[in-house]
Structure 1
Amino acid sequence: METLDLVIIGAGFFGLAAAKTFHQLNPEKTLAILDSGSTLGGVWAKERLYPGLRSNNMLGTFEYPDFPMDSDTFGVKPGEHMSGEVMYAYLTKYAEKFGILDKIRCHCVILTAEHQDGADGGWILRVRNGGKEQQISARKLIVATGLTSEPFLPHIDGQEEFGVPLFHSRDFVKYADTLDSAKSVTVFGGTKSGWDVAYAYASKGIKVNWVIRESGHGPAWMAPPYVTPLKKWLEKLVHTRILTWFSPCIWGDADGYSGIRRFYHGSAIGRAITNAFWSILGNDVLTLNKYDSHPELKKLKPWSQAMFVASSFSILNYPTDFFDLVRSGTIKVHIADVTGLSARTVHLSDGTQLDTDALCCVTGWKHVPPVKFLPEGIDKELGLPHAPSETNLFTPEAVEKADEEILSRFPRLRDQPVQNKNMRDLLATKGLTTTDAINPSTPLTPWTLYRFMVPPSARFLTQTRDIAFAGVLLNFSTPLMAHAQAIWINAFFADQLPASVLPPLHPVRSETETQTKSLEEIRHETLLHARFGKWRYPAGHGAQFPDFVFDAVPYIDLLLGDLGLKVHRKGGWLAEMTEPYGPEDYRELVAEFAGSVQARSG
């Protein structure tokens, strides 16, 4: 059986960053990245690149800090969104540059990951590669499968007689021939992927019937790349510190501006200013998109308040005007539920029957990792979503205490918005079922990880320290998050975090370290952060996993503070408040971290 120092599951943005950082800091150790796909890239894997796929971000904001995406190499100009092909090429060159390309093993499906008894822990992975199975022993394990790797596709009554392609948006590339052969298609789902698929078909002149559930969350918020009367670049706007203060954030004090945050969220005047900010931001987007100018456009007007949507607040990244396709009738919007299928026909709850050549379902993702962890019952100790009654972390008393702390710090969150008074679960719709034991409807706890990365249990924090999860969050800031998390996870494995962050593995780490964070404090803080999403982002995925936008910079601040690295990285207080943070501000993080470790050790 092969034994490796580290195995990483997943070769997307987070898996590649974790591998590169581990290899940089530990070049003598063995490493493998296992991925079920046929190429690296995760969302940007070559086999997932459907025609017209583009990044939401524009050049300069969607790159690893230590690997800039230059125009000469990748052919993207400032102000342009990156194509899927460019993103795949970029990630491939990143893996080549940092010497990890040969460590990626594709077509590897992880069947089970079994934790080993003993002081050193470790994992035995049962892996299927093609028709063969093998076992791999991993001293450390990073799960970087992300939140968009396993599609959820419900069974729809009558689909056996449907007779034309029915597929999840993840598999759009497999049905790309319908872009040439179809005359009329149906798209089911109002998230950003629904917009993308609708545009891909309609821009080819194909009639699109776009069905957005009347019992769901409604259409996603879609903003132009530049917003506010000052035409600010949206991705940079959410990384501007002075604007992050308007977002109530449970870890926000990590940015060092707790007094300002208390004013905005703890005082009546501050909350009034904060409400005005979100109202202006939301109304600006609604005005720019001119939803009220056309009866079909009005159907795409968001049902939620801008403050509460998190990463479902997306960007219009299309080469032509999306709304022209709606105004012209090429895209017809239906606010109704899908109740069944028959031959070439989609049946809606309002009685409409849609003749169609294909049905693309944008029905979400399974938010638990596609790996069976053993021994049985270890899921709750790992912090994975599980039934609340099975754990003592989510006791009613603990949850009540956490909720009261959240709401007392952020009274605005007590006033929860009603997004849709008729909202119900997807599978509560007539005609939709599932045989899948794991689906988005299962009533589970949220992901419960310390710093959104490591299990908050004694075994994994103070004994074996042999597993971490990377990328269990959604936001606009994927490369920055991947970079910072990779360094933190390496420090976690190597026992290089201060006692004020984690109880030490060794009795004495430094004569100057006297404050040690207890397991009880860690567990309470973990629960606090896990519950926070329920209140802060009810129109997003906050009740299931970390889902945020304006809170990305404070989260990076939190991790850098843990690592003992500089949090404020601008030239003075005015720049700190008004200049947006970007990849360039974190370019030397790995070297800074390595230097700080060396300084502490001798």
Structure 2
Amino acid sequence: METLDLVVVGAGICGLAAAKAFHQINPNKSLAILDANSSLGGVWSKQRLYPGLKTNNMLGTYDYPDFPMDTETFGVKPGEHIPGEVMHDYLSKYAEKFDIADKIRYQHKSLTAEHQEGPEGGWILTVQNGETETRISARKLIMATGLASAPFLPHFRGQEVFGLPIFHGKDFLQHSDTLDSAKSVTVFGGTKSGWDVVYAYASKGIKVEWVIRESGHGPAWMAPPYVTPFKKWLEKLVNIRYLTWFSPCIWGTADGYEGMRKFYHQTAIGRAITDFFWSTLGNDVISLNKYDSHPETRKLKPWSEAMFTASSFSILNYPTDFFDVVRNGTVKVHIADVTHLSPGKVHLSDGAQLETDLLCCVTGWKHVPAIKFLPEGIDKELGIPHTPSTSEPYFTPNQVQRADDEILSRFPRLRNQPVQNKNLKPLVDNKGISTTDEINPSTALTPYTLYRFIAPPSATFLQTRDTAFAGVTSSFATALIAHAQSIWIYAYLNDKLPAKVLPPVTARANIEQPAKSIQDLQYETVLHARFGKWRYPAGHGSQFPDFVFDAVPYLDLLVGDLGLEVHRKKSWWREIVMPYGPEDYTDLVAEFAGKTTVD
């Protein structure tokens, strides 16, 4: 059986960053990156580059800090969104530059990971490559499969006789020939990917029946690239430190401006100013998109409040006005539930019968890792989603209640939770829709409960330091967070974090500062995990860390843990009003390497 110092599962943005940091800091350690696909990139792998796919971000906000995406090399100009093919090429060049491309093992699907007993832990992975199963021993394991790897495709009553293609948006590329052959299609789902599929068909002149559940979350917030009366670049707007203060954020004090945050969230006048900011932002988007100018576009007006919407607050990145295909009748919007299918037809709760050539479902993802962790029950120790039990090690009713009390005390505005849809119910609870899969997104699971959204907080794993999760956050700052997390993960796995951040392992001596207790660490983990339920009820906050305006303070948290400079601008004024971007973290690895010794 092969033994490796580190195994990274997943070769997407976060997995590549984690592997690169480990290899860059300690190149003599053995490393393998396992990926089930035949190419790297995760959501940007060749298998998922459906027609028209682009980043929401424009050039300059989706780079790794130490690998800029320049126009000369990649052909993307300032002010342009990045095509999917370019993102794949960029990630390939990143892997080559940092000498990890040959560490990737493609079409290697990780089936199980069994944790080993003893003070040093480690894992035995069962991996499938074609018809062959092998076992790998890993001293350290980084799970980087992300939140958009395993699609959730519901089962419809009558689909056996439907007689036409039914596929998830993840597999749009494999059905792209229908862009030339279909006359009428049905798209089910109102997320950003749903908008993409609708536009791809409609821009070809194909009739689109767009079904958005009346019992669901409604259409995604879709903003122009530039918003507010001052026409600010949205991806940069959310990373301006001053504007992050308007977001009630439980880890926000990591930025060092606790007084400002208390003013905006714990005083009446501060909350009034905050409410005005969110109202202005939301109303500006609604006004710019002119939803009320046409009966069909009115159906696409968001049902949720902008303040309570997380990374599903997306961006119109299409070459022409999306709403033209709605106004001219190419797209018909149905706010209704799917009741069943019959030969060649999709039946809706409003009585409509849609004759169609296919059904594309943009119905979300299984956010639980597909790999099975052993021994049974270890999910609770790891801090990954699982069915709650009476033997929770730290996500206990008392801890949850304590966290809720603190959240609502610090942020009274969150007591007033919005009612997005009084008839809201999980997708598979709709009549005519079920699931044959053992992983059902509607099941009441615990949220990801990881310290810093990375590390299992149980005593076992704080001792072995052999497991980390990369990329279980969702935000506009994907590459920035991947970069910072990669260094934090290296420090964590190698016991290089200060005692005030993590309790030291038993063998560590000469502690010069008070160590954080396991109990304090576990409560802080529950506090941060529970926060999403209150802060982002219109997003996925109750399942995993899903945020927008809270990315910069999260970066502050990680960078501060590493003992590095949090305030990285050249003056106090720029620190407050200039947006943070990749250029501010270019030297982060070198700074960390200069402060630590390599084992």
**Which band: TM-score by shorter chain?**
over 0.9
Whole-Å Cα distance in 1 between the matches of residues 57 and 509 of structure 2?
42
Offset of 1:395 from its aligned partner?
2.2
Contact 2:393 2:458 in 1 (8 A): no
Is 1:2 aligned to 2:20, yes or no? Answer: no
SS in 2 for 1:468: strand
Whole-Å Cα distance in 1 between the matches of residues 342 and 13 of structure 2?
40
Residue type of the alignment partner of 1:335? I
Whole-Å Cα distance in 2 between the matches of residues 58 and 119 of structure 1?
46
Whole-Å Cα distance in 2 between the matches of residues 247 and 369 of structure 1?
29
1:224 aligned partner:
224
SS in 2 for 1:312: coil
Whole-Å Cα distance in 2 between the matches of residues 523 and 210 of structure 1?
44
SS in 1 for 2:323: helix
1:276 aligned partner:
276
Whole-Å Cα distance in 1 between the matches of residues 412 and 92 of structure 2?
46
Please show how residues 336-485 of structure 1 align to structure 2 within 5 Å: 336-389=336-389, 390-461=391-462, 463-485=463-485
Contact 2:265 2:412 in 1 (8 A): yes
Whole-Å Cα distance in 2 between the matches of residues 331 and 510 of structure 1?
67
Is 1:97 aligned to 2:91, yes or no? Answer: no
Offset of 1:120 from its aligned partner?
1.4
2:146 aligned partner:
146
2:590 aligned partner:
591
Cα distance, 1:407–1:486 mapped onto 2, change above 3 Å: same
Whole-Å Cα distance in 1 between the matches of residues 12 and 397 of structure 2?
37
SS in 1 for 2:596: helix
Listed one character per residue, the Cα deviations across residues 171-222 of structure 1 (whole Å, up to 9, x for unaligned) are: 1011001100000000000000110000000001000000000000000000
Whole-Å Cα distance in 1 between the matches of residues 129 and 144 of structure 2?
19
Offset of 1:597 from its aligned partner?
1.1
Is 1:164 aligned to 2:164, yes or no? Answer: yes
Offset of 1:515 from its aligned partner?
1.5
Contact 2:241 2:576 in 1 (8 A): yes
Offset of 1:510 from its aligned partner?
4.6
Residue type of the alignment partner of 2:504? P
Whole-Å Cα distance in 2 between the matches of residues 12 and 120 of structure 1?
28
Listed one character per residue, the Cα deviations across residues 304-348 of structure 1 (whole Å, up to 9, x for unaligned) are: 000001001000000010000100011110000011101110000
Whole-Å Cα distance in 1 between the matches of residues 102 and 383 of structure 2?
32
Whole-Å Cα distance in 2 between the matches of residues 408 and 520 of structure 1?
21
Contact 2:380 2:393 in 1 (8 A): no
SS in 2 for 1:322: coil
Whole-Å Cα distance in 2 between the matches of residues 351 and 481 of structure 1?
46
1:577 aligned partner:
576
Unaligned residue ranges in structure 2 (runs of 5+): none
Offset of 1:506 from its aligned partner?
4.6
SS in 2 for 1:126: strand
Whole-Å Cα distance in 2 between the matches of residues 506 and 154 of structure 1?
48
Whole-Å Cα distance in 2 between the matches of residues 154 and 36 of structure 1?
22
Listed one character per residue, the Cα deviations across residues 378-420 of structure 1 (whole Å, up to 9, x for unaligned) are: 0100001112224142322221111000000000000000000
Listed one character per residue, the Cα deviations across residues 348-372 of structure 1 (whole Å, up to 9, x for unaligned) are: 0000000000110011100100100
Contact 2:244 2:549 in 1 (8 A): yes
Residue type of the alignment partner of 1:50? Y
Offset of 1:507 from its aligned partner?
5.7
Offset of 1:113 from its aligned partner?
0.2
Offset of 1:551 from its aligned partner?
0.2
Whole-Å Cα distance in 2 between the matches of residues 450 and 392 of structure 1?
14
1:534 aligned partner:
533
Please show how residues 486-497 of structure 1 align to structure 2 within 5 Å: 486-497=486-497
1:35 aligned partner:
35
Whole-Å Cα distance in 1 between the matches of residues 335 and 497 of structure 2?
51
SS in 2 for 1:334: strand
SS in 1 for 2:311: helix
Whole-Å Cα distance in 2 between the matches of residues 342 and 9 of structure 1?
41
Whole-Å Cα distance in 1 between the matches of residues 418 and 332 of structure 2?
28
Please show how residues 168-317 of structure 1 align to structure 2 within 5 Å: 168-317=168-317
Whole-Å Cα distance in 2 between the matches of residues 289 and 205 of structure 1?
22
Whole-Å Cα distance in 2 between the matches of residues 392 and 134 of structure 1?
33
Residue type of the alignment partner of 1:519? I
2:498 aligned partner:
498
Contact 2:192 2:314 in 1 (8 A): yes
Is 1:80 aligned to 2:80, yes or no? Answer: yes
Residue type of the alignment partner of 1:164? L
1:52 aligned partner:
52
Offset of 1:229 from its aligned partner?
1.1
| TM-score normalized by the length of structure 1 | 0.98
Whole-Å Cα distance in 1 between the matches of residues 375 and 393 of structure 2?
19
Deviating more after overlay: 436-445 vs 524-533? 436-445
SS in 2 for 1:271: helix
1:553 aligned partner:
552
Whole-Å Cα distance in 1 between the matches of residues 306 and 526 of structure 2?
25
Cα distance, 1:508–1:427 mapped onto 2, change above 3 Å: closer
1:515 aligned partner:
514
Whole-Å Cα distance in 1 between the matches of residues 246 and 123 of structure 2?
43
2:21 aligned partner:
21
| TM-score normalized by the length of structure 2 | 0.99
SS in 1 for 2:419: coil
Offset of 1:509 from its aligned partner?
4.7
Residue type of the alignment partner of 1:454? A
Whole-Å Cα distance in 2 between the matches of residues 123 and 392 of structure 1?
21
Residue type of the alignment partner of 1:422? N
Listed one character per residue, the Cα deviations across residues 16-49 of structure 1 (whole Å, up to 9, x for unaligned) are: 0001100000100000000000100000001111
Residue type of the alignment partner of 2:79? G
Offset of 1:107 from its aligned partner?
0.4
SS in 2 for 1:211: strand
1:119 aligned partner:
119
Contact 2:226 2:234 in 1 (8 A): yes
Offset of 1:508 from its aligned partner?
5.3
The number of residues matched between the two structures is 598
Whole-Å Cα distance in 1 between the matches of residues 397 and 508 of structure 2?
37
Contact 2:336 2:350 in 1 (8 A): yes
Whole-Å Cα distance in 1 between the matches of residues 5 and 519 of structure 2?
30
SS in 2 for 1:400: helix
State the percentage of identical aligned residues: 73
Unaligned residue ranges in structure 1 (runs of 5+): none
SS in 2 for 1:310: coil
Whole-Å Cα distance in 2 between the matches of residues 508 and 469 of structure 1?
24
Whole-Å Cα distance in 1 between the matches of residues 498 and 76 of structure 2?
42
Whole-Å Cα distance in 2 between the matches of residues 569 and 398 of structure 1?
35
SS in 1 for 2:314: strand
SS in 1 for 2:153: coil
Listed one character per residue, the Cα deviations across residues 467-494 of structure 1 (whole Å, up to 9, x for unaligned) are: 0000011011110010000000000011
Residue type of the alignment partner of 1:564? G
Residue type of the alignment partner of 2:143? V
Whole-Å Cα distance in 2 between the matches of residues 266 and 573 of structure 1?
24
SS in 2 for 1:208: strand
